[in-house]
Amino acid sequence: MAQEGTLVWRKIPGLERSQRSFSEATEQQNQWRGRWEGGGAFSCLSMEEKGEKEFTPTRQQFLTHPLALLALVPRDAALFAAGAIAGAAAKTVTAPLDRVKLLMQTYGLRAGQGSVKKGIGFIEAMMLIGKEEGIKGYWKGNLPQVIRIIPYSAVQLFAYEVYKKLFSGKNGELSVIGRLAAGACAGMTSTLVTYPLDVLRLRLAVEPGYRTMSEVALNMLRDEGIASFYNGLGPSLLGIAPYIAVNFCIFDLVKKSLPEKFQKKTVSSLGTALLSATLATLLCYPLDTVRRQMQMKGTPYNTVLDAFPGIVARDGFIGLYRGFVPNALKNLPNSSIRLTTFDTVKVLIAASEKEFQRVMEENRQKQK
Q: Are residues 42 and 188 in the same domain?
A: no
- Residue 254 is assigned to a structural domain of this protein: yes
Q: Are residues 26 and 163 in the same domain?
A: no
Distance CA 179, CA 175 (A): 6
Predicted TM-score (pTM) of the model is 0.59
Q: Are residues 86 and 210 in the same domain?
A: yes
Q: Give the contacts of 173 (CB within 8 A, at least 6 positions apart).
A: none
Instruction: Give the least confident one: 2-11, 58-67, 124-133, 200-209.
Output: 2-11
Q: Are residues 264 and 318 in the same domain?
A: yes
pLDDT on residue 180: 93
- Reported as a single tens digit per residue, the pLDDT across 7-50 is 555 555 555 555 554 444 555 555 545 554 555 554 554 444 45
The Cα-based distances of 231 to 57, 115, 196, 287, 318 in angstroms read 54, 25, 9, 14, 24
Q: Are residues 167 and 30 in the same domain?
A: no
Q: Are residues 131 and 23 in the same domain?
A: no
Helices and strands: H and E segment counts in the chain = 13, 2
Q: Are residues 45 and 70 in the same domain?
A: no
Residue 67: give its domain's CATH number: 1.50.40.10
Computed over every residue of the chain, the mean pLDDT equals 77
Into how many domains does the chain fold?
2
Percent of the chain with pLDDT over 70: 79
What string of DSSP letters covers 258-327? Answer: S-HHHHT-HHHHHHHHHHHHHHHHHHHHHHHHHHHHHHSTT-S--SHHHHHHHHHHHH-GGGGGTTHHHH
Q: Around Cβ 276, how many Cβ atoms within 10 Å?
A: 21
- Residue 368 is assigned to a structural domain of this protein: no
Distance CA 101, CA 143 (A): 17
Q: What is the 3-state secondary structure (H, E, C) of 250-263?
A: HHHHHHHHCCHHHH
Distance CA 144, CA 149 (A): 8
User: Is 152's pLDDT higher than 70?
Assistant: yes
pLDDT on residue 185: 94
What string of DSSP letters covers 6-21? Answer: EEEEEE-TTPPP-HHH
- For 6, phi and psi rounded to 5 degrees? -125, 125
How much is the average pLDDT of 287-303?
A: 80
Q: Could you list the beta-strand ranges (E) of the chain.
A: 3-11, 41-49
Q: Around Cβ 11, how many Cβ atoms within 10 Å?
A: 10
Residues in a beta bridge with 42: 10
Distance CA 232, CA 240 (A): 12
Full residue range of the structural domain in which residue 164 is found: 63-357
- Reported as a single tens digit per residue, the pLDDT across 75-129 is 778 777 877 887 888 888 888 888 887 887 777 666 555 555 667 777 888 888 8
- Residue 277 is assigned to a structural domain of this protein: yes
Q: What SS3 class is residue 48?
A: strand
- Residue 310 is assigned to a structural domain of this protein: yes
Q: Are residues 241 and 281 in the same domain?
A: yes
